[in-house]
Amino acid sequence: MSSTWGEKIKISIFGESHGAAIGVVLDGLPAGEELDFDAIALQMSRRAPGKDATATPRKESDLPNIVSGVLNGRTTGAPLCALMENTNTKSGDYENLKRIPRPGHADYPAYLRYGGFNDVRGGGHFSGRLTAPLVFAGAVCRQILQRRGIRIGSHVYSVSDCKDTPFSPSDIPEDLLQKLSSVPFPVINRDAEQAMRDTIEKARMAQDSVGGVIECALTGVPAGIGGPLFGGIEPVFSSILFGIPAVKGVEFGAGFGAAELYGSENNDAYYYEDGTVKTRTNNAGGILGGITTGMPIVFRAAFKPTPSIAREQDSIDLTAKTDAKLHVHGRHDPCIVSRAAPVVEAAAAIALINLMNL
């Protein structure tokens, strides 16, 4: 399995959803960086299960146990390793999945790829549970970026057909990003939150699930970071974002909407403000030719509906080699989108720090 990402700062995520523990190793961190453990705990709490009515009732503290790489609250320059114990597992709920794969999950292709030896309990290494160590790694990288004037925040842009107010692409206040990145269900318009919650509850009561979109922004990013072709902002960000379970699409700036515009509409006109080059619009999402323009980086990540639903579904029996019916047991989110916000922010922090000269 390929669970290592990055060049300057590498992360390696390990563990399974129902194993003894999950964790991450960060290699290449600069030495002497002070860590705010309360700030790390806040991000871990935003992602953690069992904290909101829209989430799975599985409860895990997700408190990271740092076993190397930190001394007296500062990074040492050695690999930083953090462990999170799995304490609330019900592995018996997944016994039937060894032979009857869940539609929408990785069960069947993983069965082929790993010869049936993959851990299906809770999704094993394919589980969204593995986003906990990703959030930890991102929380560490976020602090390093913050000291260099960079802020990251996101909101639930949509759940099903319920939409929040989008970011103003060229003017995103730091205090808004700070507020959004500190709450469990981040939205700009509070009325949208209630509509989203109602939609999620309707799906839950129908033994179903819904997906949605996270919109993320980074401000204070200097111009001139990145490069053309394969090492630019978009490909580097996308490669880690698509490593988040359930992400099915990523777009930057105007994204697919740019295909409907004329060049005169899509081009972001330049101007000077106090000697700094800015653009009057930001359809490019702060990126041209894979390189930052100095405007906010704005992107959106689309999440599919949670595939584990309580409704009876059609599947196959891999042992009997016949069609079969499947009832999925266990505890699952009717919508993962709000819990995905800190994961998207974490991925953005890790991606950007790998493109910067620290």
**Which residues belong to the annotated binding site for FMN?**
125-127, 289, 304-308, 331
Q: What are phi and psi of 39, to 5 degrees?
A: -65, -40
The three-state secondary structure class of 171 is coil
* C-alpha neighbours within 13 Å on the C-beta side of residue 340: 32
* Sequence-ordered strand ranges (E) for the chain: 4-5, 10-15, 21-27, 65-68, 70-71, 74-75, 80-85, 151-159, 162-163, 212-219, 247-252, 270-273, 276-279, 287-288, 291-292, 297-303, 313-317, 322-326
The three-state secondary structure class of 178 is helix
The two tokens of residue 159 are 């759940």
Nearby residues of 11 by Cβ (< 8 Å), 6 or more positions away? 4, 5, 24, 25, 26, 27, 134, 137, 350
DSSP summary character for residue 79: P
Report whether 111 contacts 318 (CB < 8 A): yes
Tell me how far apart the alpha carbons of residues 258 and 265 are, in angstroms, rounded to a whole number: 9
Residue 324 burial (CB < 10 Å; 0-12/13-18/19+)? Answer: middle
- For residue 310, which amino acid is it? A
| Binding-site residues for NADP(+) | 47
Report whether 248 contacts 303 (CB < 8 A): yes
| Binding-site residues | 47, 125-127, 289, 304-308, 331
Tokens 């394969």 identify what position?
Answer: 230
Tell me how far apart the alpha carbons of residues 54 and 27 are, in angstroms, rounded to a whole number: 35
b/e sequence 33-63, b meaning 16+ C-beta within 10 Å: bebeeebbbebbbbbbbebbebbbebebebe
Tell me how far apart the alpha carbons of residues 184 and 145 are, in angstroms, rounded to a whole number: 22
